[in-house]
Chains A and B, each alone.
Chain A
Amino acid sequence: MSDAQTQLEIDREKGNFRYDVDYEFDAGTGLTEKTIDYICDVKGEPDWIREFRKDALRKFLDKPMPTHWASHDLENIVFDNIRYYLSQGQKPKRTWDEVPDEVKKTFDRLGIPEQERKFLAGVEAQFDSEAAYSNIKEAVGKQGVIFVGSTEGLKEHPEIFRKWFGKVIPTGDNKFSALNSATFSGGSFIYVPPGVKVSHPLQAYFRINAENFGQFERTLIIADEGSEVTYMEGCTAPKFDTATLHSAVVELVALKGAKIQYITVQNWSNNVFNLVTKRGLAMEDAEVKWIDCNIGSRLTMKYPGVVMKGRRARGEVISIALAGDGQHQDTGAKMIHAADETTSNIVSKSISVGTGRATYRGLVNVPRHLKGCKNNTECDALLINTNSRTDTYPAITVRGTGNACQHEASVSQVSEEQIFYMQQRGLTEGQAMSLSVNGFVNDLVRQFPMEYSVELKRLIDLEMEGSVG
């Protein structure tokens, strides 16, 4: 389809609206020690957090931009123009009625309260820097599950929080994890007690409303021995002419025999730099599974990782990326095998449309003297237009005998024969293309919870214009 004038239209408009909001607390633009003091004072944080943040700021300033391997588009982020903290009040509300109208309107329009009633065990809704709403179903709370914002978590559950905070992803892991550690606000803190299986997903919804804003949520999920939890996050922002920054740090800890499933549907507007560090720690017989779908943003750099620290631990990353005009989805996975008989699986599918660019970057490491470790990596890329681009950069290190790693990647396009065949049966070219693309990702989409997979299919529902040349 070298001369195809095809256009894929994806529903990125869903989150493109905003209501004016008066912010009570605004740290102004730029990032200095004063910004940090302001955030700490507003949030009333203990001294160790203040120190932690300031140390992180130094690390952030010290570290160069990783442009020796990453996109030079990063150089377009002007850190001095960004607002690092914006909020109306600190305490998230427990009922939607208490949430201020303009914020509630936003989440209503995104359908959050409705979803909560239907199928969620708990919801947190973050609006710019702080959670506007956070609630967990009574029955789940009674099981001892904690689901609060990160600020509340560190204040009210320091004994659990501090033990793991910053342990999976050290502050200096990369420039953006340092930035998040310096400025973090919002995000979730979840603790699931031993043996508790949370039957319905917990959900967080992240909304950026303000222009020139940086959102730095920090999430820490601890699944105690034998417990199970599924967490979902969604994100949107209105489209501004200026760049918006979203830089989260998400740490997961699955203790012995625990299972954590973390699902992301990222649909930021395409002025958002989405630079996220996500990593899970899986102890003996534990399982961490990242299901990641990236549709929005201008540049996403996100490589969810699993450190398999205990015997027979398992890590999995399922990733779908859709890169449209002007977008760069630089996604992937990291699998660090640190114990015997650990297994990991990476399945990544990307679709590049128009001038979109999808990149897979992966790292698999099996160190010395481990036995019975296995990794499987599959990356498939679909190119829709002549000028679409895709890259694959995996790095696989295996030391010693007794382990097996395999990696496979392919690049293909929707064949003209397929389209022709479907058109013969009365489908328009657009419908045919849409069906093909949905078929390409179908086996992964099915791994999302029902409600999400329906939404995803709709998101990837493609409208076709023009013809195959």
Chain B
Amino acid sequence: MIMAASPVSGVPLMEGALVEGRWPDWFVASRKRGWEDFQKLPLPLAKDEKWRFSNVKALALDGFRYPGAVSNAATLVERSTGLGESAARFVFGNNRLLSTTAPAADLVKAGLVVMTLEEAAAKHADLVQKHFMAQEAKLGSAKFAALHRSGPVAGVFIRVPKDLVVGKPIEIFHWVEGENSAVFPHTLVVCERHSKATVVDCFRSSDDARAFACGVNDLVVEDGAKLDYVAVQQWSPTTNAFHLNSTTVGRDATCLGMQVNLGGKFVRNENYSRMVAEGARSDMLSVNIASDEQMIDQRTFQDHAKPNATSDLLYQNALTGKGRTVFSGVIRVEPGAHKTDAYQKVRNIVLSDDAEANSMPGLEIEADDVRCTHGATTAQIDDREIFYLEARGIRPEAARQLLVMGFFNTVLDRLPDEKLRGHIEGLVEKRLHAALLA
């Protein structure tokens, strides 16, 4: 049992979690180690290079606790609407499973597995044990990764068997409710050889309360497989959120990962993508809106371990109010990874005088015969473009929105699933509208 108290304020962060769930022994042992590591590891300091330009003051965990059950599960399930059509849908509230829509019988028969991580830890112990947080959190949040490991993770395990194509997206909703509630969403996807799937994580708050989210996902894309993964983050504007993502891409496999940040107060994303065989391709995409006093802090790593692989990163931020963004990315080409083709670009559009965009695109190249480029741009909307639209009878506010949406569409257009793209576009547009009015 994990009995230690939270080191920050004496409030046991995990207490309520201890009695819940039926996890196998190996998982309980891993949680214990996670808790020990969490206590051992120091909180990051401002001078830490991996936290440069960030706000380490936002990391205090005082007061957060493991929450009770949500008050009205039925309403939340009802509000968990996204695409309309999905291959499977799981809804969690305050770390508890609220509802499931199992995949169609033919998919199950073909071997598709979509179940809670808890169930999978028993039924697919080998796969879960092999892939669950297998990639060390190297981009600065080791302490929070340890907290997640120690915590009562709530999430889904997805195994797409060899050669199976899942046409519709698998949707997962995580809700948080109540002041100081802490949630630990986890999504583990294994796409076996030549399979294909789309997975969407939706993070939402049921109220305006200040909450804490510490999510992790592990995406394993085996040889020749293709996975599209989207995380749409809509936590309340007072919530502090971590989302640590680790992607492993095999031979001739493709993973497209997209982070859409529309909510939260302090948001930290760490996206680690590793090309482990030739022909691997990773598309890393992100659309972010930072308004009011929001901070969106993103660290990325494109790790080319083997030759002839491709990675392509495009992160775009729109900033208003006192919004702040940090982008820090590294393309790393390991010795021997020749013929690497890696690209990294961050584009910021600053819409107010108090907003601040920080860009740190980085390259670490230890092999020759590679093509690696990066770019960072920061600018604002050109007045002439607004004027042009105004001259055609479009009001300036609408013109601004149109232009920023056009800016975002260069990222959103990369999503192959049209319905999903339309859905996310709608969410981005709505959020942008509110941000521009504020």
User: Which residues of A does B touch, CB under 8 Å?
Assistant: 1-2, 4, 68-69, 368-369, 381, 383-413
Given contacts A401-B350, A401-B353, A401-B380, whether A394 and B372 have CB atoms under 8 Å apart is no
Q: Of the candidates A384, A386, A397, A400, which one forms a contact with B53 in the assembled complex, judged by CB atoms under 8 Å apart?
A: A397
21 pairs, CB–CB < 8 Å, chain A vs chain B: A387-B335, A389-B364, A390-B363, A391-B362, A391-B363, A391-B364, A392-B363, A392-B374, A394-B361, A395-B52, A397-B356, A397-B359, A399-B356, A399-B357, A400-B353, A406-B378, A407-B374, A408-B374, A410-B371, A411-B372, A412-B371
CB-nearest residue of chain A relative to B364?
A391
B-side contacts of A395, CB under 8 Å:
52-53, 358-360
B48 contacts the other chain (CB 8 A): yes
Shortest beta-carbon distance from B191 to chain A in Å: 31
- Cβ contacts under 8 Å, B377 to chain A: 404-407
The chain B residue sitting closest to A64, CB to CB, is: B47
Chain B interface residue count, CB cutoff 8 Å, equals 39
A66 smallest CB distance to B (angstroms): 10
In the complex, are the beta carbons of A400 and B365 less than 8 A apart? Answer: no
B342 to chain A, nearest CB (A): 9
A405 to B348, CA, bound (A): 10
**Residues of chain B from 347 to 388 with CB closer than 8 A to chain A in the complex:** 348, 350-380
List 20 other contacts, CB 8 Å, given A392-B362, A406-B378.
Answer: A2-B368, A381-B365, A389-B364, A389-B366, A391-B362, A391-B363, A394-B359, A394-B361, A396-B358, A397-B357, A401-B355, A403-B350, A404-B377, A405-B376, A407-B359, A407-B375, A408-B375, A410-B372, A411-B365, A411-B372
| A363 CB to nearest B CB, Å | 10
Let me know if B361 and A407 touch, CB within 8 A.
Answer: yes
Contacts known (A368-B354, A392-B361); A409 close to B369, Cβ less than 8 A: no
B281 within 8 A of A: no
- The reply to whether B48 and A413 contact each other, CB–CB distance below 8 Å, is no
**How close is A416's CB to chain B, nearest CB, in angstroms?**
9
Residue from the list B354, B357, B373 in contact with A408, Cβ < 8 A: B373
B210 close to chain A: CB less than 8 A? no
Q: In the complex the two chains form, what is the Cα distance from A286 to B251 in whole Å? A: 55
Is B31 close to A, CB under 8 A? Answer: no
Give the top 7 A-B pairs by smallest Cβ distance, nearest first: A383-B368, A392-B363, A400-B353, A398-B378, A401-B380, A407-B376, A411-B372
Is B49 an interface position by the 8 A CB rule? Answer: yes
Closest beta carbon of chain A to B383's beta carbon, Å: 10
Report whether B374 and A413 are in contact in the complex, using a CB–CB cutoff of 8 Å: no
Chain A, residue nearest B367 (CB): A386
Residue B338, interface by CB 8 Å: yes
Report which B residues bind A (CB closer than 8 A).
Answer: 47-49, 52-53, 335, 338, 348, 350-380
Whether A368 contacts B353 in the complex (CB less than 8 A), given A387-B335, A391-B364, A396-B358, comes out as yes
Instruction: Judge whether B376 and A2 touch: CB under 8 Å.
Output: no
For the complex, what is the distance from the CA of A413 to the CA of B371, rounded to whole Å?
8
Contact of B374 among A369, A389, A402, A409 (CB under 8 A): A409
Which one of A404, A410, A411 has the highest number of Cβ atoms from chain B below 10 Å of its Cβ? A411
Chain A residues with CB under 8 Å of B356's CB are 368, 397-400
Q: How far is the CA of A396 from the CA of B350 in the complex (A)?
A: 14
Given A68-B47, A390-B363, A397-B357, do A385 and B375 touch, yes or no (CB 8 Å)? no
How distant is A399 from chain B, measured CB to nearest CB, in Å? 4
B378: chain A residues at CB < 8 Å are 396, 398, 403-406
Which one, B353, B363, B364, contacts A369 given CB within 8 A? B353
From A361, which residue of chain B is reached at the shortest CB distance?
B362
Which B residues are CB-close (under 8 A) to A387?
335, 366
> In the complex the two chains form, is B358's CB within 8 Å of A411's CB?
no
Contact (Cβ within 8 A) B362 A393? yes
A402 contacts which chain B residues (CB < 8 A)? Answer: 380
Bound Cα distance A389, B362 (Å)? 13
The answer to whether A404 and B379 touch across the interface, beta carbons within 8 angstroms, is: yes
- Closest A residue, CB atoms, query B338: A2
Choose one: B360, B363, B368, B380; the contact of A386 (CB below 8 Å): B368
> Chain A residue with minimal CB distance to B381?
A401
Nearest B residue (CB) for A69: B49
Query: What residues of B have a CB within 8 angstroms of the CB of A396 in the complex?
Result: 357-360, 376, 378
Q: How far is the CB of B326 from chain A (nearest CB, A)?
A: 9
Q: Tell me which residues across on chain B come within 8 A of A368, comparing CB atoms.
A: 353-354, 356
The interface residues of chain B lying within 8 Å CB-to-CB of A397 are 53, 356-359
Q: How far is the CB of A390 from chain B (nearest CB, A)?
A: 5
Q: Are B380 and A2 in contact (CB under 8 A)?
A: no
Bound: A109/B300 CA distance, A: 52
**B53 A401 Cβ-Cβ under 8 A:** no
Chain A residues with CB below 8 A from B359, complex form: 394-397, 407
A400 and B49 contact, CB distance less than 8 A: no
**For residue B328, which residue of chain A has the nearest CB?**
A395
Q: How far is the CA of A34 from the CA of B389 in the complex (A)?
A: 73
Q: How far is the CA of A403 from the CA of B380 in the complex (A)?
A: 7
Contact of B350 among A68, A398, A413 (CB under 8 A): A398
Let me know if B363 and A398 touch, CB within 8 A: no
- Nearest B-chain residue to A400, judged by Cβ: B353
B-chain residues with CB within 8 Å of residue A388 when the two chains form the complex:
368
Interface contact A401-B376, CB-CB below 8 Å: no
Contact in complex: B365, A390 (CB < 8 Å): yes
- Which chain A residues border B368 with CB–CB below 8 Å? 1-2, 4, 383-386, 388, 413
Shortest beta-carbon distance, B382 to chain A, in Å? 10
A409 to B342, CA, bound (A): 12
Q: Collect the chain A residues with CB atoms within 8 Å of residue B358's CB.
A: 395-397
Contact residue among A398, A399, A400, A411 (Cβ-Cβ distance under 8 Å from B373):
A411
The residue in chain B whose Cβ has the minimal distance to the Cβ of A398 is B378
In the complex, the answer to whether A394 meets B365 with C-beta atoms within 8 Å is no
How distant is B130 from chain A, measured CB to nearest CB, in Å?
A: 32
Interfacial chain B residues near A4, Cβ < 8 Å: 368
B362 neighbours in A (Cβ, 8 Å):
391-394
Closest-CB distance, A322 to chain B (whole angstroms): 15
Q: Which residue of A lies closest to B348 (CB)?
A: A398
What residues of chain A lie closer than 8 Å to B355, measured between beta carbons? 399-401
- Looking at the assembled complex, report how far the CB atom of B246 sits from the nearest CB atom of chain A, in whole angstroms: 23
> Which A residues lie within 8 Å of B374 (CB)?
392, 407-409
Is the Cβ of A394 less than 8 Å from the Cβ of B48? no
Q: Which residues of B contact A68 (CB under 8 A)?
A: 47-49
Q: How far is the CA of A69 from the CA of B52 in the complex (A)?
A: 11
Q: How far apart are the CA atoms of A389 and B52 in the complex, in Å? A: 24
- List A contacts of B376 (CB < 8 A): 394, 396, 405-407
Min CB distance B114 to A, Å, is 41
Shortest C-beta distance, B381 to chain A (Å), equals: 8
Contact status A383-B365, CB under 8 Å:
yes
Residue on A nearest B52 in the bound complex, by CB: A395
Q: Chain A contacts of B335 at CB under 8 A?
A: 386-387
Alpha-carbon distance between A408 and B361 when the two chains are bound, in angstroms: 9
CB distance from A256 to the nearest CB of B (A): 27
What CA separation (Å) do A77 and B338 show in the bound complex? 35
Q: Say yes or no: B357 contacts A394, CB within 8 Å.
A: no
* CB nearest to B363 among chain A residues: A392
User: Considering only CB atoms, which chain B residue lies closest to A409 in the complex?
Assistant: B374
The smallest beta-carbon distance between B287 and chain A, in angstroms, is 19
In the complex, what distance in Å separates the CA atom of A394 from the CA atom of B369? 23
A296 CB, nearest partner CB in chain B, Å:
23
Please, how many angstroms separate the alpha-carbon atoms of A369 and B355 in the complex?
A: 10
Report B-chain residues with C-beta under 8 Å of the C-beta of A1: 368-369
The answer to whether B357 touches A398, judged by C-beta atoms less than 8 angstroms apart, is yes
Smallest Cβ-Cβ distance to B358: which chain A residue: A397
List chain A residues, Cβ under 8 A from B360: 393-396
Q: How distant is A351 from chain B, measured CB to nearest CB, in Å? A: 11
Q: Least Cβ distance of B350 to chain A in Å?
A: 5
Instruction: Tell me the nearest residue of chain A to B372, going by C-beta.
Output: A411
Q: Are A411 and B353 in contact (CB under 8 A)?
A: no
A residues near B353, Cβ cutoff 8 Å: 368-369, 399-401
Instruction: State the Cβ distance, B428 to closest chain A Cβ, in Å.
Output: 21
In whole angstroms, how far apart are the Cα atoms of A408 and B353 in the complex? Answer: 25
Q: Which residues of B contact A408 (CB under 8 A)?
A: 373-375
